[in-house]
Structure 1
Amino acid sequence: MTNASKFRQLHEDGLLILPNAWDAGSARLIESLGAKAVATTSAGVAWAHGYKDGDQLPLKRLLQTVTAIARVLDAPFTIDMEGGYGDSAQAVAEAVSAVAGEGAAGINIEDGVIGPGELAVRVTAIREALDKRGLDLFVNVRTDVYLRNLAPPEERLAMCLGRAAIYRDAGADGIFTPGMTDPAEIREMAKGTSLPLNIMARPGLASAAELQAMGVRRLSAGSAISEAMHAHTARLAGAFLADGLSDAMTAEAMPYPTINGLMANA
């Protein structure tokens, strides 16, 4: 069974919880904590390389990250590819094929900038390119209706359902609706599509058990853990620059042997 097949099965029952990593080390740590699969955050990966989020990271850097993560993980992993790393359906299909060839079990691709029609063309091209190469990949399509306020509040659910149908027909495996938090809307979204529904962590979101009961099949952290890591780093480094004291850093640190041993066993 391929990693993509294993990853696809994880969406069939229960709720798959995905803490999002930003490099090989964070991916390895997350796997060691019991994660059944690992996802990346495009924002976290971009920041780790010193780039702004939003289709700014060069494809070469992304592929280096994929290769590094594949080296350290046994669990399936999925890569956030933003708009697809290409200006045409063919270019996107080639980029996705390269990611699949490096060992990824899935990708995220989003419609925020290009819209549903063009993204559907890209999803179809991705599926055709993967089939041609004998590669399997879970294609999770993110719709930014809620994140970008693409419709009035009373029309957002219907728009998401319409886009889910378009992406399903194009060959998508899953639908991701970040920003959707209302329990009634989540239930209707899960009921109204045959695709596994992916929700993103947000303040006030229902618990994992409640989301599972609503029909959600995947819960992602998004960039939240990476953002928290940067806030924590800024606090510790800022304090150290201000007073040069060691206590705050050493009191909260994961022991060096623990981290080193984790990487040695990768």
Structure 2
Amino acid sequence: MKHTHFDTFYQLHHQSKPLLLANAWNVKSALAIENAGYEAIATSSGAIADSLGYKDGEVIPFSELLYIVKRISACTTIPLSVDLERGYAKDMDTLQDNIQHLIDLGVAGINIEDAEGEETYLEKLICIKNYLQKSGQRLFLNARIDAFLLKLPAPLETTLKRAKLYQDAGADGLFVTGVQDTNIIKKICSATILPVNVVGVAALSSIATLADCGVRRISMAGLLYRATYTRMGNMVKEIVKDQSLTSLHA
């Protein structure tokens, strides 16, 4: 079994500065992230799916996701966290198998989201935690709370309630999506002992601002992927418009 870098990845969430994570979708993007000096790599499920012609939301078969993760892990040397969406499993045995496949590839952590509701989510989170304990293995469990993203009623109260439930169930971190208000982020960070992860969206692009809010992990979701292919799209349009390949050699 490949070393998972768990200890290193865990400590990166408890250092003096926030952990900045860029999200990869293939080996080339992962190597660009590592070579730029990032301390860890995350995957974006949406970017991987889209790059292979699938819609987001566990439409991509787990076997294809696993192949991409395998290649990224084999070609990089820093901790790797995988966006596991809802676990790619309807039953707990399959969920445990999926977790083991990732650990065998050397994955240090996962995101797993609660879009199915907290009851189902807690069942999955506890299943993973119990499996890790029984098998003597470690994996950073980043519990994704989608109350703001899904526009649930009283999203802050729901987020704080779920944060406590997920912390008690053994989560190592909290990933709060869809939140862009610094005052709300401060309230969430101050209400939990777990490191809080947010996406650095356009309204919150300053790492210093997010750090002042108490954020411990800043990720990019599919933003890097979209920016990359927006620029590529503009480039190929320019070639047709100018009837010249000059932009390829700039």
Q: Same fold (TM over 0.5)?
A: yes
- The amino acid across from 1:140 in the alignment is N
Alignment equivalent of 1:120, drawn from 122, 125, 135? 122
In structure 1, C-alpha distance between the alignment counterparts of 2:52 and 2:69, rounded to whole Å: 13
Return the TM-score normalized by structure 1.
0.88
Cα deviation, residue 117, structure 1: 1.1
- Residues 30-67 of structure 1: CA deviation (Å, up to 9, x unaligned): 01101000101111111122211111111111111111
In structure 2, C-alpha distance between the alignment counterparts of 1:46 and 1:199, rounded to whole Å: 21
Gaps of 5+ in 1: 252-266
RMSD: 1.5
Alignment equivalent of 1:43, drawn from 16, 41, 46? 46
- The amino acid across from 1:138 in the alignment is F
Q: Secondary structure at the match of 1:204?
A: helix
In structure 2, C-alpha distance between the alignment counterparts of 1:4 and 1:181, rounded to whole Å: 29
Please tell me whether residue 224 in structure 1 is matched to residue 223 in structure 2: yes
Superposition map of 1:132-211 within 5 A: 132-151=134-153, 155-205=154-204, 207-211=206-210
- The amino acid across from 1:157 in the alignment is L
Return the TM-score normalized by structure 2.
0.94
Q: Is the 8 A contact 1:90 1:125 kept in 2?
A: no
Q: Is the 8 A contact 1:106 1:138 kept in 2?
A: yes
Please tell me whether residue 75 in structure 1 is matched to residue 74 in structure 2: no
- Residues 141-181 of structure 1: CA deviation (Å, up to 9, x unaligned): 11111111112xxx211111111111112221111112212
Summarize the Cα distance change of 1:169–1:90 in structure 2 as closer, same or farther, 3 Å threshold: farther
- Paired residue for 1:260? none
In structure 2, C-alpha distance between the alignment counterparts of 1:89 and 1:116, rounded to whole Å: 16
Summarize the Cα distance change of 1:206–1:223 in structure 2 as closer, same or farther, 3 Å threshold: closer
Gaps of 5+ in 2: none
Q: Is the 8 A contact 1:183 1:206 kept in 2?
A: no
In structure 2, C-alpha distance between the alignment counterparts of 1:12 and 1:85, rounded to whole Å: 29
In structure 1, C-alpha distance between the alignment counterparts of 2:44 and 2:237, rounded to whole Å: 25
Q: Secondary structure at the match of 1:142?
A: strand
In structure 2, C-alpha distance between the alignment counterparts of 1:91 and 1:165, rounded to whole Å: 27
Aligned length: 247
